[in-house]
Amino acid sequence: MTGSAFLEVNGVNKYFGSLHVLKDCSFSVTKGQTVVLIGPSGSGKSTLLRCLNLLEPPSAGSIAFEGREITGDLRNAHKLRAQIGMVFQNFELFQHLNAVENIMLAPMKVLGYSRLDAHDLAVDLLHKVHIPDRADHLPDELSGGQQQRVAIARALAMKPKLMLYDEPTSALDPEMIREVLDVMTELSADGMTSVCVTHEMGFARRAADRIIFMERGSIIENATSEVFFSGEASDRAKQFLNQILH
Ligand SMILES: Nc1ncnc2c1ncn2[C@@H]1O[C@H](COP(=O)(O)OP(=O)(O)O)[C@@H](O)[C@H]1O
Ligand SMILES: [Mg+2]
């Protein structure tokens, strides 16, 4: 372990039964970096992301978070997950709670915030994601782009050290993609360490420090975004980019 990497993934393998889904995946993320993970459907992106917060325990290999090995003892996985925010394709908001209540829940339950403090925090976060006027709306009264921004605010309420995004804009109508990517870009610019599975290459160019390209469970490219987008990417990665850009 180098000690300097914030997140260090070392030789991670994952099997589902006999299906070998992650093959010797290794990469590291330094504090404040934004890493974009791309690759064809079924290549293992979601599984790799879920391994990072131990929603899926790796079958082999190790992951260190802030210099501490997290894969050895899964009993503390919930403590780790409290420090890592995750945003999903389908928002996964609590349908019976309005926007502000969705955001208040975890700080009250997990961090011991009073109702008043949690409410103040939630209102601040709704400003941060640019929908302060939607506090008392239920999820089904919000657009997809607004729901996803509530989901991001809900993750931020736990003051995460790392944000994981799994195709956060894939379920959105095209006109709502930008407002969600803008919030993610602002968070990255503020120094939030992030790993994002997304095919939004405009976002990757703007916000990513590194691009990781996966195929069939293996990381086949891990490059700075300058190198990746300057035409120096591997032929396979270029071919994939062509497919998603046309
Ligand atoms: N819980 C699971 N049980 C069995 N197979 C799974 C499970 N989750 C994912 N897989 C399989 O693992 C492979 C990688 O899936 P996934 O990580 O979702 O890929 P991606 O996110 O890149 O589309 C796929 O073949 C998928 O069917
Ligand atoms: Mg996926």
**Nearest-CA residue for atom 2 of ligand 1:** 16
The two tokens of residue 73 are: 């003892």
**Choice from 13, 14, 21, 49 to test ligand 1 binding pocket (greatest atom count within 8 A of CB):** 21
**Nearest-CA residue for atom 20 of ligand 1:** 42
**Choice from 15, 16, 55 to test ligand 1 binding pocket (greatest atom count within 8 A of CB):** 16
Calpha distance 82→105 (Å, rounded): 13
What pLDDT, on a 0 to 100 scale, did the predictor assign at position 4? 66
To the question of domain 31-55+76-245 being in CATH 3.40.190.10, the answer is no
**Nearest-CA residue for atom 26 of ligand 1:** 42
What pLDDT, on a 0 to 100 scale, did the predictor assign at position 62? 96
Ligand 1 closest atom vs CA 17: 4
Q: Considering the chain, what is the average pLDDT of its residues? A: 95
Residues 160-192: tens digit of each pLDDT: 999 999 999 999 999 999 999 999 999 999 999
